[in-house]
């Protein structure tokens, strides 16, 4: 029996043409489906940060990480699935909003801590930033009103800061 679970992995890569294509090719060759993929600049000039979420067994994910590590333009890989991490997603959702239901749509957005970012005579655009389950809950609630258009970024992730312990600093308080 093969146990599949969702994994969130971050890879840092050089900003060079073709790197993302090689990463996608690696997943394609392994017949591995990516649920979400986001790439953007990192805090280091010349290095981009890719966050991807994929489902698979621990063995399959380990193989993917090993193969990613072999790609010359990948500088670092981190699986944050089991680490304390902040994982967020952005969604823009255009919803039918007439005079009759506009107030209800606004209330639904407020209930989910989302905000209205555009208003027209017959629609509202709702923006939400949050965990995937929060975004999914809002989407499901807005379906009742009629979703005209929607775009989601996919997950971005960052590990939470951890304070160094006395042992990590050493007994004299300096970093060894």
Task: Dump pLDDT digits (tens) for 143-167.
Answer: 999 999 999 999 999 999 765 544 4
Enumerate the β-bridge partners of residue 93.
126, 150
Q: How many helices (H) and strands (E) does the chain have?
A: 5, 9
Taking only Cα atoms into account, the Rg of the chain, rounded to an integer number of angstroms, comes to 20
Taking residue 6's Cβ as centre, other Cβ atoms within 10 Å add up to 13
Residue 87: DSSP 8-state: E
Superfamily of domain covering 5-82:
ACT domain (3.30.70.260)
Find out whether 48 and 12 touch, Cβ atoms under 8 Å.
Answer: yes
More confident residue, 1 or 90: 90
Domain 86-158, CATH among 1.10.10.410, 3.30.70.1150, 3.30.70.100, 3.40.50.300: 3.30.70.1150
Query: Is this prediction's pTM over 0.85?
Result: no
Dist. CA 140–CA 126, nearest whole Å:
13
* CATH 3.30.70.1150 domain range(s) in the chain: 86-158
Enumerate the β-bridge partners of residue 100.
none
* CATH 3.30.70.260 domain range(s) in the chain: 5-82
Enumerate the β-bridge partners of residue 56.
5
Find out whether 159 and 78 touch, Cβ atoms under 8 Å.
Answer: yes
pLDDT band with cut points at 50, 70 and 90 for residue 139 = very high
Find out whether 91 and 128 touch, Cβ atoms under 8 Å.
Answer: yes
174 three-state secondary structure: coil
H/E run at residue 74: strand 74-79
H/E run at residue 88: strand 85-96
Strand bridging mode 85-96 / 156-159 = antiparallel
Lowest-pLDDT range, 20-24, 50-54, 131-135?
20-24
More confident residue, 127 or 3: 127
């Amino acid at each position: 029996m093969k146990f599949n679970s969702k994994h969130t992995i971050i890879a840092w890569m050089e900003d060079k043409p073709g790197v993302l294509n090689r990463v996608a090719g690696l997943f394609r060759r392994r017949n591995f489906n990516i649920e979400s993929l986001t790439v953007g600049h990192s805090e280091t000039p010349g290095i981009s940060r890719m966050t991807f979420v994929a489902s698979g067994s621990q063995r399959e994910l380990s193989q993917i990480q090993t193969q990613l590590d072999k790609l010359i333009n990948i500088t670092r890989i981190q699986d944050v699935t089991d680490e304390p991490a902040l994982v967020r997603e952005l969604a823009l959702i255009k919803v039918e909003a007439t005079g009759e239901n506009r107030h209800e749509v606004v209330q639904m957005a407020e209930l989910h801590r989302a905000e209205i970012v555009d208003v027209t005579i017959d629609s509202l655009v709702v923006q939400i930033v949050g965990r995937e389950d929060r975004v999914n809950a809002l989407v499901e609630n807005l379906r009742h009103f009629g979703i005209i258009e929607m775009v989601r970024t996919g997950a971005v992730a960052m590990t939470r800061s951890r304070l160094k312990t006395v042992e990590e600093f050493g007994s004299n308080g300096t970093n060894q």
